[in-house]
């Protein structure tokens, strides 16, 4: 059932065009991109599954520090697509960026293999190599991520009704890769004999991830020329054409026009935002100014005690906001284009809260699976890092039904607009955390819950993800002017970057889990009394708690003290629930700003 769609012309006057009628099937290029992304996601999610446990068990980081590193890594992974999108749109093109990014990420995984091989002989060297490896993967992901997503949209005419279905299929490829990567890397890398973890096994998980990334890059390189083409058979993703030649191809390929003044002002805005976020991240109680220090030197010395939280996270937030504003300074934007871009930004803001809550899977939820959950299934002791793989399993099961459902609702004229779908996704996320919060509320300090409760959580989170993430990718493809396609995918991914950074901050709020209470009890320490400030530990006891990386204080969040896992999970219930309601309430206004795009 076709419908009228308004699009902007170069004179900023809306015209009506027929939405492209659906064609049978999908282009073969979608299969190539599906396969390439599948192996790349094997690499990324396989490494992600074991990263936090590797940091704690091999590289001797605390749980909270591991969460901050995890959040900073993921945040930067989704900030660098801004750079990759810009380089693609201006200089290299989609194809070259995908190949460059793929090879770079493979190198990073092999460096993690080196770190996991050296931690016993030289811990400091292993930690240093780990940081470098994560930096290399972050850079490679920035080139790879926005460009392959952008190419999916280029396979179809601009208003093709198959686009939501295509992105859902593509999204299933992501999760097939996530399932395989999580399963294989966790199986070979997260090995336990009883309660004893084989720390040396982590390196094999990283090795498998690196091999998968090489397969992804080689697959794309061999098949790109034959199948990655437009409906008219023209190659997609080559180096960008400029000037009159490009303008002759399409009205929508007008070259971006940024002035030197706008670049200067955006640079100042970025600096101002950076120092503002840095100040907001400073907690004087946990990051005190060193004795004898004062002024700016003392202030920055205090910040240096938690560099990821006070230097990396502010950079993520400031860069993302500044680069998003930068696009709006382009002089070639029409009124309709500007409003559509603003919709991308508004939706992206709410997506921050989705990913901040959802991405506890690789940090706090993995810690819960490791220490607070009985992972025995029919006599098989599931590796804790493998529990999060139920997300990928449910994606594979439900991706096609969701794709079919949206198509059927569209035919009947009952399909909700994208922001409404995304508000439903946030509500399901909140429901998942509410279920687990109710379960842990009745747990004793040293009790464990059944793994089935985490499976229910991942089911609800997966259904929410299917309502939000692939629909968001499709929305960006529909609303983006072609000359900003890759860059706006990068902007949308900045909401992921901010969400993951926030996920690291929130994950660090997790209170002491079962293993901490058991370890303290064996030393005759009443940890609960210490946390409640009813008992002051002796110097020897305090030294033990510090060495064992057991916190003597309850975490705090916006003025509230988190005493237990119930209160910890309720933080996510409230954040995602409130975001869901607000997004639903403004969806009508967003619909008008989309000018006919659904």
Write the pLDDT tens digit of every residue in 192-243.
Answer: 887 788 999 999 999 999 999 999 999 999 998 888 887 777 888 787 766 5
| Backbone angles phi and psi of 358, in degrees to 5 | -65, -40
- Every domain of the chain and the residues it spans: 27-240+330-511+554-593, 259-329
Angle between helices 335-358 and 451-479 (to 10 degrees): 170
Question: Does pLDDT of 117 surpass 90?
Answer: yes
Highest mean pLDDT among 79-88, 204-213, 374-383, 548-557: 204-213
Percent of all residues in the chain with a pLDDT value above 70, rounded to a whole number: 91
**How far is residue 189's CA from residue 49's CA, in Å, rounded to a whole number?**
9
Q: What pLDDT sits at residue 209?
A: 96
Pick the range with the lowest mean pLDDT from 14-28, 105-119, 409-423: 14-28
Question: Does pLDDT of 261 surpass 90?
Answer: no
Q: Are 1 and 412 in contact (CB under 8 A)?
A: yes
CA 299 centroid distance within chain? 31
Q: What pLDDT sits at residue 56?
A: 92
Average of per-residue pLDDT across 332-342: 87
**Buried/exposed 42-65: b ≥16 CB within 10 Å, e otherwise:** bbbbbbbbbbbbbbbbbbebebbb
Q: What pLDDT sits at residue 486?
A: 66
Q: What pLDDT sits at residue 221?
A: 93
Both tokens of residue 418? 């994208």
pLDDT digits (tens, 9 = 90+) for 384-396: 999 999 988 898 8
Which of residues 257 and 12 earns the better pLDDT score? Answer: 257
Q: What pLDDT sits at residue 13?
A: 36
Q: Are 114 and 3 in contact (CB under 8 A)?
A: no
Q: What pLDDT sits at residue 244?
A: 40
Q: Are 121 and 183 in contact (CB under 8 A)?
A: no
Both tokens of residue 503? 């996920």
Average of per-residue pLDDT across 563-573: 93
Question: Does pLDDT of 40 surpass 80?
Answer: yes
Neighbours of 551 (CB within 10 A): 18
In the three-class reduction of DSSP (H, G, I as helix; E, B as strand; rest coil), residue 256 is classed as coil
Q: Are 39 and 178 in contact (CB under 8 A)?
A: no
Radius of gyration of the chain (CA): 24
Q: What pLDDT sits at residue 459?
A: 97
The third-level CATH classification (topology) of the domain covering 27-240+330-511+554-593 is Growth Hormone; Chain: A; (1.20.1250)
* Continuous segment of H or E residues that includes residue 373: strand 373-374
Among the listed residues 593, 596, 484, 591, the one whose alpha carbon sits nearest the alpha carbon of residue 153: 484
Average of per-residue pLDDT across 321-348: 86
Q: Which long-range contacts (CB under 8 A, 24 or more apart) does 378-383 make?
A: 381/192, 382/451, 383/186, 383/187, 383/190, 383/191, 383/192
Bridging pattern class, strands 449-450 and 373-374: parallel
What is the pTM for the complete model shown? 0.80
DSSP category for residue 386? G
Average of per-residue pLDDT across 401-424: 87
Highest mean pLDDT among 471-480, 508-517, 557-566, 576-585: 576-585
**How far is residue 584's CA from residue 350's CA, in Å, rounded to a whole number?**
11
Q: Are 49 and 180 in contact (CB under 8 A)?
A: no
Pick the range with the lowest mean pLDDT from 194-203, 413-422, 440-449: 440-449
Both tokens of residue 170? 């593509």
Average of per-residue pLDDT across 52-76: 91
Residue 524 φ/ψ region, left for φ over 0, alpha for ψ in the -120 to 50 degree band, beta for the rest: left
| Backbone angles phi and psi of 380, in degrees to 5 | -100, 125
Which of residues 156 and 460 earns the better pLDDT score? Answer: 460
Pick the range with the lowest mean pLDDT from 75-79, 81-85, 498-502, 532-536: 81-85
Q: What pLDDT sits at residue 560?
A: 87
Q: What pLDDT sits at residue 242?
A: 60
Highest mean pLDDT among 15-19, 413-417, 419-423, 592-596: 419-423
Q: Are 494 and 273 in contact (CB under 8 A)?
A: no
Q: Are 159 and 19 in contact (CB under 8 A)?
A: yes
CA 446 centroid distance within chain? 32
**Segments in 88-198 forming alpha helices (H):** 93-118, 123-154, 163-189
Average of per-residue pLDDT across 62-82: 87
Bridging pattern class, strands 196-198 and 191-193: antiparallel
Percent of all residues in the chain with a pLDDT value above 90, rounded to a whole number: 40
pLDDT digits (tens, 9 = 90+) for 156-176: 876 677 777 787 788 778 878
């Amino acid at each position: 059932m076709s419908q009228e769609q308004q699009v902007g012309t170069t004179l900023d006057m809306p015209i009506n065009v027929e939405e492209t009628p659906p064609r049978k099937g999908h282009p073969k290029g979608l299969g190539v991109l599906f396969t390439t992304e599948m192996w790349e996601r094997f690499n990324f999610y396989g490494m992600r599954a074991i990263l936090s446990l590797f940091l704690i068990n091999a590289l001797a980081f605390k749980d909270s520090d591991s969460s901050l590193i995890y959040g900073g890594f993921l945040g930067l992974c989704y900030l660098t697509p801004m750079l990759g999108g810009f380089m693609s749109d201006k200089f290299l093109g989609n194809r070259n960026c995908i190949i460059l990014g793929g090879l770079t990420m493979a190198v990073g995984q092999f460096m993690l293999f080196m770190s996991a091989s050296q931690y016993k002989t030289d811990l400091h060297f292993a930690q240093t190599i780990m940081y470098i490896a994560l930096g290399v993967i972050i850079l490679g992901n920035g080139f790879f991520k926005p460009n392959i997503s952008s190419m999916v949209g280029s396979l179809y005419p601009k208003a093709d009704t198959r686009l939501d279905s295509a992105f859902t299929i593509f999204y299933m490829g992501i999760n097939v890769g996530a399932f395989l990567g999580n399963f294989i890397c966790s199986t070979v890398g997260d090995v336990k004999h009883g309660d004893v973890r084989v720390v040396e096994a982590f390196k094999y998980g990283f090795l498998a991830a690196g091999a998968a990334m090489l397969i992804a890059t080689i697959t794309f390189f061999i098949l790109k020329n034959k199948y990655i083409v437009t409906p008219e058979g023209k190659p997609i993703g080559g180096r960008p054409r400029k000037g009159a030649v490009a303008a002759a191809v399409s009205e929508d390929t007008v070259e971006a026009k940024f002035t030197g003044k706008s670049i200067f002002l955006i640079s100042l805005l970025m600096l101002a935002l950076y120092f503002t976020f840095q100040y907001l991240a400073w907690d004087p109680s946990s990051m005190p100014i060193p004795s004898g220090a004062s002024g700016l030197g003392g202030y920055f010395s205090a910040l240096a005690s938690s560099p990821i939280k006070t230097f990396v996270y502010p950079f993520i937030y400031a860069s993302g906001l500044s680069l998003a504003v930068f696009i709006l300074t382009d002089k070639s934007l029409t009124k309709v284009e500007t409003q559509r871009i603003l919709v991308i930004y508004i939706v992206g803001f709410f997506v921050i809260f989705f990913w901040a809550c959802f991405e506890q899977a690789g940090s706090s939820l993995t810690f819960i699976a490791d220490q607070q959950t009985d992972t025995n299934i029919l006599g098989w002791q599931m590796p804790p890092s493998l529990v999060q793989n139920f997300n990928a399993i449910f994606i594979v099961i439900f991706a096609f039904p969701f794709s079919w459902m949206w198509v059927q609702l569209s035919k009947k004229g009952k399909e909700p607009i994208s922001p409404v779908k995304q508000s439903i996704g946030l509500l399901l996320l909140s429901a998942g955390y509410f279920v687990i919060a109710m379960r842990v509320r009745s747990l004793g300090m040293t009790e464990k819950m059944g793994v089935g409760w985490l499976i229910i959580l991942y089911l609800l989170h997966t259904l929410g993800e299917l309502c939000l993430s692939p629909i968001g990718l499709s929305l960006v493809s529909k609303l983006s002017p072609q000359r900003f396609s890759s860059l706006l995918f990068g902007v949308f991914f900045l909401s992921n970057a901010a969400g993951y950074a926030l996920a690291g901050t929130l994950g660090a709020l997790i209170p002491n889990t079962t293993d901490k209470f058991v370890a303290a009890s064996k030393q005759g320490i009443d940890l609960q009394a210490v946390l409640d400030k009813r008992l002051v530990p002796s110097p020897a006891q305090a030294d033990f708690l510090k060495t064992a990386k057991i916190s003597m204080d309850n975490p705090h969040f916006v003025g509230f003290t988190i005493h237990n896992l119930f209160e910890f999970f309720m933080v996510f219930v409230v954040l995602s629930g409130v975001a869901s309601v607000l997004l639903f309430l403004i969806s009508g206004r967003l619909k008008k700003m989309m000018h006919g795009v659904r």
